[in-house]
Amino acid sequence: MTEIDCSGIKLPLGINEIKRLIPHRAPFLLIDKVTELCLYKSCTAYKAISYNELFFQGHFPEHPVMPGVLIIEAMAQTAGVLAIASISSQNIDAPKAVLFASIANVRFRREVVPGDMLRLNVSVLQQRSKIWKFKAEAYVGDKISDEAEFTAMIS
C-alpha cells in the first residue's frame, strides 16, 4: 500500500529508495523499510532480524543476540534518512554524510534476536544549521528494546 505521509513523499520507502538517501550498503545497511516520514520532525523505519545476519556468527553462535551498538547504528541510519530527506526537500544539495557527534542516555532493555521485527522511531529534538539532536527508540512488538539520544553533524 502506498501512502503519502506529512513529508509529501510516497511511502513506504523500500531498500532502493533508502539507498538513494543514505550511503550505507550491505552488510552495514541496517534498515529495510521506512513507513513514516515527517520532514524535520520524525521517521519510523523497520529492520527484519534474520538468523542469516553476519554478526550472529560471532555474537553469539549458541545464543544469537543483535549487538546493541548495531541497534544504535540502525537508529542513526533512520535519523540519516530523516535529515537527508528533510534537507533535500528544500532543493538544497543533499549532504554526503550524517556523522555521530555524541550519544547519550543509552538504555538496552531487552535482547533482539533472530525472528524479531525491529521498529525504529526517531524524532528531532533540536536542529541548528548542520547540528541535529535526535531521540530514538527501538521496539520489538509493543515492547521497547533500546533507546538513546544522539547528536549528529550533517556534512
45 neighbors 24 (Cβ within 8 angstroms): no
- Alpha-carbon distances, residue 103 vs 97, 118, 149 (angstroms): 17, 20, 6
Which residues does the annotation mark as catalytic? 59
Report the distance separating Cα 97 and Cα 33, nearest Å: 20
**By C-alpha distance, which of 43, 27, 47, 26 is closest to 35?**
43
29 neighbors 18 (Cβ within 8 angstroms): yes
Q: Which three cell numbers stand for residue 44?
A: 519510523
